[in-house]
Amino acid sequence: MEASIRVGLVGYGLAGAFFHAPLIRTTTRLKLAAIVTSNSGRAIEARRMHPEAVVFATASELWDFASNLDMIVVATPNRTHVPLASAALSAGLHVVVDKPFAPTAAEGRQLIEHARSCGRMVTVFHNRRWDGDFLTVRRILREGALGDPFRFESRFERWRPVPKPGWRERGGPEEAGGILYDLGSHLIDQALVLFGPVVEVFAELDRRRSSVEVDDDAFVALTHASGVRSHLSMSALSAQAGPRFRLLGNRAAYVKHGYDVQEAALRGGAQPDNSHWGEEPRAAWGLLGRDDDLQPVPTEQGAYQDFYESIVAAITSGGQPPVDPDDAVSGLEIIEAARKSAFERRVVTLPVHSASRVNDS
């Protein structure tokens, strides 16, 4: 039998416990060998759910265990992503970093250079590239059903009038908290994948709840070099959510409500190892066409598991990782431009190099 790729998971909160651990566990040739969490309750749960893994309280203990590992997944607070990923690379390990890749684009570039100097892979968990509705949008664009697309509206809205405790909604810039880093990282990445380079950014960032210290309501407008405009909305105070996607073309439009089913399934304890994983019920399908002629479009099956399957292929064959870290840096450049735009109340121009190349594939 081929040897397993031994994985250490740093962080066992929402991302670690409900996204990474189940995906790692159900991916052929990946073995969850170690988990790091300083929370005693989470440590007990980690041992119960993953008895095959050694559980450590600190990352320093994990580095002493590094010779027993091949890869690290960083699923910790945003401010710790770069130092932990850098330490893992220095220990000779491949690295997956949860989004956002880094607090700043400059730190992201430095981490990429460090990975190259160490001869190790670094990639970013932009799992929403494998949302079923997003895969459906990609298919519709490939098929040309809209004609020439000119506007892409994408929303991720929640109703959380009472802020949750913790770093995500508090702290200074070094925390990389707030809704723009949290949800905007996904929406910006998806827009780049679909429509490529961005040349102009305009943004509005607000704090709508008095007890939070970071943005909790945001709008970002991107002008792509192709001429397509992306309008991205994210909010923690949306009592009624708008459509998840609204894509306009000169021949037709596609409108989709609701969210991908995979997150709810993972939170509910389901495992992504069956043939019906990621299937969406017909009642949730989006509509394609014009107001006088609308047709339901079957939603593609979501496939978060494909991210880690691609990780195995990249490590074993030396190929490209599922997400080019340079794409994540492009997203961070747009986040920084959005923050500048909101502060200065103006459109910010970007050089064309600040763009994902994935949409060219």
- Tens-place pLDDT, residues 73-85: 999 999 999 999 9
Distance in angstroms (rounded) separating the CA atoms of residues 298 and 281: 9
Distance in angstroms (rounded) separating the CA atoms of residues 169 and 236: 10
Q: What is the DSSP letter of 302?
A: P
pLDDT recorded at residue 359: 55
pLDDT recorded at residue 355: 45
pLDDT recorded at residue 318: 86
* Distances in whole angstroms, Cα of residue 326 to Cα of each of 17, 107, 110, 116, 329: 27, 12, 11, 12, 5
Q: Where in the chain is the domain with CATH 3.30.360.10?
A: 128-303+332-360
Distance in angstroms (rounded) separating the CA atoms of residues 213 and 215: 7
Per DSSP, what are the bridge partners of residue 151? 229, 248
Positive or negative CA dihedral for 287, 217, 202, 127?
A: negative
CATH code of 5-125, in short, is: 3.40.50.720
φ/ψ region of 242 (left if φ > 0, alpha if ψ in -120 to 50, else beta) reads: beta
Q: How would DSSP label each residue in 222-270?
A: EEETTS-EEEEEEESB-SS---SEEEEESS-EEEE-S--SHHHHHHTT-
CATH class of 128-303+332-360: alpha beta
Q: How many CB atoms lie within 10 A of CB 310?
A: 18
Per DSSP, what are the bridge partners of residue 157? 235
Q: What is the DSSP letter of 171?
A: S
- Tokens found for residue 52: 């095959």
Residue spans of the chain under pLDDT 70: 1-2, 353-361
CA 167 to chain centre: 18
Residue 360 backbone phi and psi in degrees, to 5: -80, -10
Closest of 209, 203, 257, 205 to residue 237, by C-alpha: 209
pLDDT digits (tens, 9 = 90+) for 44-66: 999 999 999 999 999 999 999 99
Crossing angle for the helix pair 184-195 and 132-143, nearest 10 degrees? 20
Kindly tell me the number of DSSP H helices and DSSP E strands found in the chain.
12, 15
Q: Where in the chain is the domain with CATH 3.40.50.720?
A: 5-125
Q: How many CB atoms lie within 10 A of CB 229?
A: 18
Q: What is the DSSP letter of 298?
A: P
pLDDT digits (tens, 9 = 90+) for 322-331: 999 999 999 9
Q: How many CB atoms lie within 10 A of CB 2?
A: 8
pLDDT recorded at residue 361: 40
pLDDT recorded at residue 279: 97
H or E segment at 167? none
pLDDT recorded at residue 210: 87
Residue 17 and residue 42 in contact, taking contact as beta carbons nearer than 8 Å: yes
Residue 111 backbone phi and psi in degrees, to 5: -70, -40
- Tokens found for residue 115: 């990975």
CA 54 to chain centre: 27
**pTM to 2 decimals?**
0.95
pLDDT recorded at residue 319: 87
